[in-house]
Amino acid sequence: MPARSFLLPVLWLALAALSGCSRRPQLAEAEAAVAPTALLPRPQIVQYTGAGFTLSARTRLFLTAPCTDTTAAETSQQLAAWLQRRQIGGRLRFSADTTSTGVHLIIAPGTVPDSLREQYQLRVTPRGIWLRASTATGLFRAAQTLRQLLPAALENPGPAAGPLPVPGVRIHDWPAFEWRGLLLDVSRHFVPPAQLRRYLDLLALHKLNRLHLHLTDDQGWRLESRTWPRLTSVGAWRRGTNGQPYGGFYRQTELRELVAYARQRHIELVPEVDMPGHVRAALAAYPELSCRGRPLAVATDWGVHEDVLCVGNPRTAAFAADVLGEVMDLFPGRLVHVGGDETPVARWQACPKCQALMRRERLQSERELQGYFLRQVAAVLARRGRRGIVWDEALALRPPLGTVVQAWHGLGPVAAAAQAGYPVVASPGSFTYFDQNTTLLELAKVYQFNPRPAGLAGAARSRVLGGEAAVWTERLLPAQLDQAIFPRLLALAEVLWRGPAPARAYPEFLNRTRQYYPRLTALGVQYGFETRPLAVTTEPAATGLRATLTAGGPGIGLRYTMDGTTPTPASAPYTAPLMVETPARLRVLALRDGQVLAELPAVQLQPHAALGAALTLAAPFHPTYSAGGAGALTDGRLGSLDYRDGAWQGFERTDLDLTLDLGSRQLLDTVRVAFLQDWNSWIFLPRTVQTSFSSDGQTYTSGPEATTPEPVSAVGPLRRSYHAAGPGRAVRYVRIQARSVGVCPPGHPGAGGAAFLMVDEVVVGARR
């Protein structure tokens, strides 16, 4: 981004000015108090001027551009065809006339830096509509803004629209970040080409310019290879839950068509072929590429698998070169993502070939062996003028300068990579991992995302290219992608196009988003929730608890059952707080406009004697896993097998020490507390749990210490309850101490890293 800039008065820039423009104006705003339409992302400078232009079937379209600019002509034809299908525009003409009434698409060529290639101007007056840019990409962005100025109903072509007024407006617009992307994991679940084309259309409408396809992983290889054909004949299919083959792959002809489709929408497809880890599907096809050489099946479970490419095998280098060569033939972009993450080294430690290679190359550790392999991969790419992208774990392996680092572990690795001289794409999981439901990642939090960490300055700051959302599909089917992506992608699109916004700007954005929902509906997007899909708040009642349900967005109706049966649109509508006197399994169906949106995760409600009781913690819970805050462990809501359900309270690298104040002395029958183990999510059961009782809060009597029978290596997810009998006397205080494993154990992919302890409701049974 250029450092110099100049002030721009909020007036329409003369059309001739842009051709020589090489500097970006400072942000200035002059928007009418009430905008006639919702634009997402909102332009940098927008001024509504009242009277506009009326489109009709007789409206003429003019293109002014160099004759050699075929891309500009293609972009203009797309807009003309879109208007013609809605019968509000005539055929496109090539003309230097910029004064006649109509729609004018103007390319004013000039030498502009890459940071200004997407800049455009748009003006609507009673005499016509002018879209002006220096490049076809800028002109395409202008066309998407014009499209959003038109009624949402036009997104779904129907009968003739008739004369259509377009609001008067003056817009000057440009992106804040070069890289504005979405990752789709098509390996865990194959996403058909038609659905990918649909997402390309949606990305283009919202001015995003990268679609990152995670094409290979342990659970499936989706890229046709003609040099290693078993990658798809074997590696593209795993055993489904019904025992039948499950999967699919993209033929090379389909990928070339997809690349061309993306190019027409000014989007770059970024392929990812993960190596040397996450290759179980490839090893199922070619077991000789593994260290043990044993037959393997394509993985049917998630997580990190120990079988990786055998770097000491000479065929592995040939495999990587062949596959990457085919990738580069199919995808013309400058960058190829090679993963480089989550690579266990246990197989290399026991492999004679890998150990021999380490001795020959004088490598001191298996991590250095991984770095050696990634440098080989980088050399393969460099021979074709390409560069690699790696996940931030690979930063410690010192990849060649010029390699792009995609940082997902937070903003710390973004800063570290940028300061080390690497270009960075920011994808911190806490802001951009859309496979997390809105219980953990609300729309408001996405809007708070800033790809550039605080304190980053100078050249390091400029190395942050932008950001990218990620949709991993371990727990999402293709039919569920819309709800995971929208409306959160609207927030990310605005942050990356317009730049990070202060928190006070969110209400205006939310209002604009809700005005925009009819456009998503017209486009057939089944958008999801803004906040937690189902918020359940409870309070003690005379004979149990009272539960209040709140849907995670406007216009959503709830139908429910409380006996565990499947809810339907004919089930009882939720209209008031529910009285729960005995344990109940609440199941809820969300509907929008009478259509089923989703069945929400079931909620187990448990009345007990400590509902609403005060609770103190010796160490604080992790802010991401608060389960709703201080009262979460006495609210009567039990956790499921999914740590992301909003009921589990998490403690990172620390023991649990809680004290419960019942408010008065009571005779207790039992105390029960549950914990979770999910090996693949770095969550482990406590090693021991101790329950103690006190009448005065000073002197405690301990019951028997409970130990965990399951090994720390149990994969899970599993939920274990720990019970303690009452002390046989009236007590007021209950103390529970649970000893965490602290760090991930040896043999775990995160060995030595922070482990989580996840705790559920403290359920107290008292005698009446």
What the chain holds in terms of domains, given with CATH numbers, is 5-173 (3.30.379.10), 179-522 (3.20.20.80), 532-606 (2.60.40), 608-768 (2.60.120.1190)
Q: What pLDDT is recorded for position 37?
A: 84
Phi-psi region of 248 (alpha: psi -120 to 50; beta: other; left: phi over 0): left
Angstrom distances, CA of residue 427 to CA of 378, 381, 420, 486, 496: 22, 23, 18, 17, 12
pLDDT at residue 135 tops 60: yes
pLDDT at residue 6 tops 80: no
**Tokens for 603?**
């909620």
Using CA atoms of 143, 144, 150, 153 in order, give the dihedral in degrees to the nearest 10. Answer: 130
Find the mean pLDDT for residues 538-562: 94
What angle separates helix 70-85 from helix 136-149, to the nearest 10 degrees?
10
Nearest to 451 by CA among 409, 414, 488: 414
Find the mean pLDDT for residues 462-483: 96
pLDDT digits (tens, 9 = 90+) for 692-719: 999 999 999 998 999 999 999 999 899 9
Cβ atoms 341, 405 nearer than 8 A: no
pLDDT at residue 593 tops 90: no
Residue 159's pLDDT band (cuts 50, 70, 90): low
Angstrom distances, CA of residue 377 to CA of 225, 274, 364, 418: 18, 11, 20, 22
- Higher pLDDT: 117 or 237? It is 237
**Tokens for 636?**
């009567």
DSSP 208: -
pLDDT digits (tens, 9 = 90+) for 324-355: 999 999 999 999 999 999 999 999 999 999 99
pLDDT at residue 389 tops 70: yes
342, 368, 474, 599: the catalytic one is: 342
DSSP 409: S
**Helix, strand or coil, per DSSP, at residue 578:** strand
Q: What pLDDT is recorded for position 34?
A: 52
Q: What pLDDT is recorded for position 23?
A: 36
The total number of residues written for the chain in this structure: 768
Rounded Cα distance between 509 and 498, Å, is 12
pLDDT at residue 21 tops 50: no
H-helix segments, 472-505: 481-485, 488-498
> Other C-beta atoms within 10 Å of 367: how many?
15
Angstrom distances, CA of residue 211 to CA of 262, 268, 349, 423, 487: 9, 6, 37, 18, 17
Q: What pLDDT is recorded for position 89?
A: 84
Q: What pLDDT is recorded for position 161?
A: 67
Rounded Cα distance between 397 and 746, Å, is 21
The structure tokens 């859309």 sit at 434
Rounded Cα distance between 133 and 256, Å, is 28
Phi-psi region of 87 (alpha: psi -120 to 50; beta: other; left: phi over 0): left
State the DSSP H helix or E strand holding residue 731, giving kind and residue range, or none if neither: strand 730-739
Burial per residue of 477-496, b for 16 or more beta-carbon CB atoms within 10 angstroms, e otherwise:
eeebbbbbbbbbbbbbbbbb
pLDDT at residue 4 tops 90: no
Rounded Cα distance between 430 and 417, Å, is 18
Arithmetic mean of pLDDT over the chain: 91
Find the mean pLDDT for residues 104-121: 84
Rounded Cα distance between 318 and 701, Å, is 67
**DSSP state letters, 298-319:** PP-S-S--S--B-TTSHHHHHH
Strands (E), 126-259: 128-133, 164-173, 179-185, 210-214, 216-217, 220-221, 237-239, 245-247
The structure tokens 């809060």 sit at 697
Give the predicted TM-score (pTM) of the model: 0.89
Nearest to 335 by CA among 399, 386, 266: 386
**Backbone angles phi and psi of 209, in degrees to 5:** -130, 10
End-to-end CA distance of the chain: 70
Nearest to 401 by CA among 391, 388, 416: 388
Rounded Cα distance between 150 and 68, Å, is 31
Rounded Cα distance between 736 and 727, Å, is 14
Cβ atoms 501, 40 nearer than 8 A: no
What angle separates helix 136-149 from helix 193-205, to the nearest 10 degrees?
80
Cβ atoms 219, 281 nearer than 8 A: yes
Cβ atoms 407, 428 nearer than 8 A: yes
Find the mean pLDDT for residues 746-761: 91
Reply yes or no on whether 342 is catalytic. yes
Nearest to 175 by CA among 1, 344, 36, 319: 1
Cβ atoms 757, 650 nearer than 8 A: yes
What secondary structure, in 3-state letters, does 18-36 show? HHHCCCEECCCCCCCCCCC
**Tokens for 216?**
């290979």
Cβ atoms 714, 677 nearer than 8 A: yes
pLDDT at residue 99 tops 90: no
Cβ atoms 422, 477 nearer than 8 A: no
Report the DSSP pairing between strands 5-6 and 24-25.
Answer: parallel
Angstrom distances, CA of residue 341 to CA of 35, 129, 589: 46, 49, 38
Positive or negative: CA dihedral 327, 258, 304, 285: negative
**Tokens for 518?**
């009819």
Residue 27's pLDDT band (cuts 50, 70, 90): very low
Rounded Cα distance between 503 and 448, Å, is 7
Which of 312-316, 481-485, 519-523, 629-633 shows the lowest per-residue confidence on average (mean pLDDT)?
629-633
